[in-house]
């Protein structure tokens, strides 16, 4: 059974692990990043026409008063999982976007020109969504609800998680995790377990962050369905 290392943060790591197990893989969960909530001044937010979310974590970490303040506004989520998180948090009118942030910005540009969208987001994020809206005359008020931090593991902890056996595949969901993976695979004690590993990433930006550790295959679109499809095709 193909052993697949899942590097994304929880709770997503466990969901991915279940999908891998159902597909006949052996998942190994080793989140390389985690998320922590940031303080938000809800009183500074006003005059918004809508809310946009490109990460489920942004909704999960948003303070209750922020959710309450904007629950009645249209909430535009980047894709299915983010839309589900927004509904669970209490947003009343949630639309599911095309699955990528730039395409969501294109979809919103015409309808909100000259208006303000509150963007619930993380401190670490790709700027394409905001830049796309600003270029179309939409004001974006970024509200950073969480930060992404790198999780550190000792050599012993990693070897124990891997049962000191090689890993056939690694799934990478962010550039920050890819950088952490590069450092991990370069440790002298761990080189053997990653020597023949195949890496799979959501985007070219993630591939670039992995550096020269190994070749990485890139999903045809930045979604987990596409990433897992690529993994299946490589069996």
Q: What is the pLDDT of residue 100?
A: 85
* Portions of the chain given CATH number 3.40.50.10090: 3-32+151-233, 36-147
Q: What is the pLDDT of residue 99?
A: 85
Can you name the CATH fold of 36-147? Rossmann fold (3.40.50)
Q: What is the pLDDT of residue 223?
A: 85
The secondary structure of 10-26, three-state, reads CCHHHHHHHHHHHCCCE
- Report d(CA 72, CA 170) in Å as an integer: 40
**List of the chain residues with pLDDT < 50:** none
Cβ pair 55, 222 in contact under 8 A: no
Can you name the CATH fold of 3-32+151-233? Rossmann fold (3.40.50)
Distance of CA 111 to the CA centre of its chain: 26
Q: What is the pLDDT of residue 42?
A: 64
Query: Sign of torsion, CA 230 25 16 196?
Result: negative
Q: What is the pLDDT of residue 235?
A: 83
pLDDT per residue as tens digits for the range 194-205: 999 999 999 998
Q: What is the pLDDT of residue 46?
A: 67
- Report d(CA 226, CA 27) in Å as an integer: 17
Q: What is the pLDDT of residue 212?
A: 78
Give the alpha-carbon dihedral of 10, 11, 12, 14, to 10 degrees: 90
Is pTM beyond 0.75? Reply is: yes
């Amino acid at each position: 059974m193909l052993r697949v290392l899942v590097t994304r943060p929880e709770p997503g790591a466990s969901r991915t692990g279940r999908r891998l197990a159902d597909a006949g893989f052996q998942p190994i969960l080793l989140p390389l990043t985690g998320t922590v909530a940031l303080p938000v001044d809800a009183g500074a937010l006003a005059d918004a026409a809508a809310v946009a979310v490109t990460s489920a974590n942004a909704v999960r970490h948003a303070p209750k008063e922020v959710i309450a303040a904007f629950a009645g506004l249209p909430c535009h989520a980047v894709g299915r999982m983010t839309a589900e998180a927004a509904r669970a948090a209490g947003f009343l009118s949630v639309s599911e976007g095309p699955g990528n942030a730039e395409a969501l910005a294109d979809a919103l540009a015409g309808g909100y020109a000259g208006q303000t969208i509150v963007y619930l987001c993380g401190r670490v994020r790709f700027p394409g969504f905001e830049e796309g809206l600003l270029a179309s005359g939409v004001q974006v008020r970024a509200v950073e609800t969480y930060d992404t931090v790198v999780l550190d593991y000792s050599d012993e902890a990693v070897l124990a998680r891997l049962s000191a056996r090689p890993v056939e595949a690694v799934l990478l969901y962010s550039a920050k995790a890819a950088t952490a993976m590069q450092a991990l695979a370069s440790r002298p004690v761990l080189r053997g377990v990653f020597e023949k590993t195949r890496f799979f990433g959501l985007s070219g930006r993630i591939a670039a962050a992995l550096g020269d550790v190994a070749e990485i295959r890139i999903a045809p679109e930045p979604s987990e369905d596409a990433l897992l499809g690529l993994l299946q095709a490589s069996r």
